[in-house]
């Protein structure tokens, strides 16, 4: 089945790093902020970014292309017909756009390596060393999931290796094409929808099992790595990895339900997102509540905006020592109090 225009099949452009992002109009702002963070921290590297989407407004496309032009980088936006995913599992949190990453191998026909990033990531260091990782004997480079030792996860998705997070994927596109990885993932989702709580991620874990190279945690620092130790869903033998990763963080992944563009978000590094948002073409967009349903929440937003009501975020217990290590070792300014 053809799900893109033949004219959109992309020939590889000359670039040091090829990056893939997937979005829709709803997530266009965080995608734009992610773009800004990539370009801002890789100014001395030629980057070619491909964005897959079902639709983006002309205004959004213009902002994204102007962002790339401002940094002298390459950007192409491919609109795909995502009806092929109409029968696949979707939720409020996981929309059809989570499946678009499956299309990169067949769209980028002359590209053999791609760094895929979720759009709720922020890049705070150069990506060349990550991209240069040798994956010639693997299907993908990945980072463990922050709940990879959760017995419920292990029982639900039977894999021999560690369960990984799909928010950062260093993809060997040549081998994906050769081994029909995308097709196999889609078949798994069709056959076992009840097992796929995290649809694309669960399918990828099953199909890629045994053909992975695991990357350091600093390349996908997920929110739940930052919680207090008694809340971690990881074996104690992994705890030192988190501490080391904090001091070398390259990619922050806002992997929780509440994102830094939500009023309710209490992520300790949300100010890093705010920093790049202010530098982006989306700086004028205000935060929203995750759920804007009902008059009460709309009134609260207005009262907070007017300074009449103080905003009190939902609190999660983060490890203060880990967070301090991040601020001490990163080149990101401390948030204003």
- Mention every residue, 6+ apart, whose C-beta is less than 8 A from residue 16: 45, 46, 47, 128, 131
**CB burial readout 295-332, b (16+ within 10 A) else e:** eeeeeebeebeeeeeeeeeeebebbeebeebbbeebeb
Q: How confident is the model at residue 72 (pLDDT cuts 50, 70, 90)?
A: very high
pLDDT at position 325: 92
pLDDT bucket at 95, cuts 50 / 70 / 90: confident
Mean pLDDT of 299-324: 70
Strands of the sheet containing 251-253, edge to edge, are 121-123, 251-253, 221-222
pLDDT of 83 strictly over 90: no
Q: What is the pLDDT of residues 30-41, one digit of tens each?
A: 999 999 999 999
81 confidence band (pLDDT: 50, 70, 90): confident
pLDDT at res. 43: 97
For the segment 167-174, the average pLDDT, to the nearest whole number, is 98
Query: 322: which DSSP letter?
Result: H
Give SS3 for 82: helix
Q: Where are the domains of the chain?
A: 6-329
Average pLDDT over residues 45-65: 97
Section 188-199 average pLDDT: 87
Residue 194 has a CB neighbour count (10 Å cut-off) of 8
CB within 8 Å of 3: residues ≥ 6 apart:
80, 81, 82, 83, 84, 103
CATH code for the structural domain at 6-329:
3.90.550.10
Q: Can you tell me whether residue 286 is helix, strand or coil?
A: coil
What share of residues in the chain are helix, strand, coil (percent, to 5)?
Answer: 40, 15, 40
Query: Does residue 212 register a pLDDT over 90?
Result: yes
Whole-number mean pLDDT of the chain? 89
Beta bridge partners of 121: 253
């Amino acid at each position: 089945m053809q799900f893109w225009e033949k004219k959109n099949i992309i020939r590889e452009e000359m670039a040091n790093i090829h990056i893939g992002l997937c979005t829709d109009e709803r997530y266009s702002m965080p995608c734009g902020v992610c773009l800004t963070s990539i370009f801002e921290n890789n100014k001395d590297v030629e980057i070619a970014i491909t964005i897959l989407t079902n639709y983006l407004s002309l205004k959004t496309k213009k902002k994204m292309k102007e962002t790339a032009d401002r940094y002298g980088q390459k950007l192409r936006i491919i609109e795909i017909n995502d009806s092929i995913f109409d029968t696949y599992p979707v939720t409020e949190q996981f929309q059809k756009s989570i499946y678009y990453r499956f299309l990169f191998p067949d769209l980028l026909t002359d590209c053999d390596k791609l760094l895929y990033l979720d759009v709720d990531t922020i890049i705070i260091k150069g990506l060349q060393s990550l991209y240069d990782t040798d994956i010639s004997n693997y299907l993908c480079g990945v980072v463990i999931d922050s709940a990879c030792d959760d017995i419920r996860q292990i029982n639900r998705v039977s894999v021999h290796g560690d369960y990984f997070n799909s928010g950062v994927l260093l993809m060997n596109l040549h081998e994906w094409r050769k081994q029909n990885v995308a097709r196999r993932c889609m078949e798994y989702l069709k056959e076992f929808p009840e097992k796929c709580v995290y649809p694309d991620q669960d399918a990828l874990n099953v199909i890629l099992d045994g053909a992975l190279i695991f990357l350091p945690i600093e390349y996908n620092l997920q929110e739940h790595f930052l919680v207090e130790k008694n809340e971690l869903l990881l074996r104690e033998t992994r705890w030192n990895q988190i501490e080391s990763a904090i001091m070398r963080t390259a990619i922050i992944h806002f992997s929780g339900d509440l994102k830094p563009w939500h009023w309710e978000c209490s992520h300790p590094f949300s100010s890093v997102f705010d920093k790049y948002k202010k530098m982006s073409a989306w700086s004028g967009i205000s935060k929203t509540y995750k759920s804007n349903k009902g008059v009460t929440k709309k009134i609260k937003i207005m009262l907070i905006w007017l300074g009449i009501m103080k905003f009190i975020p939902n609190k999660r217990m983060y490890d203060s020592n880990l967070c301090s290590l991040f601020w001490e070792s990163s080149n990101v300014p401390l948030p204003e109090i």
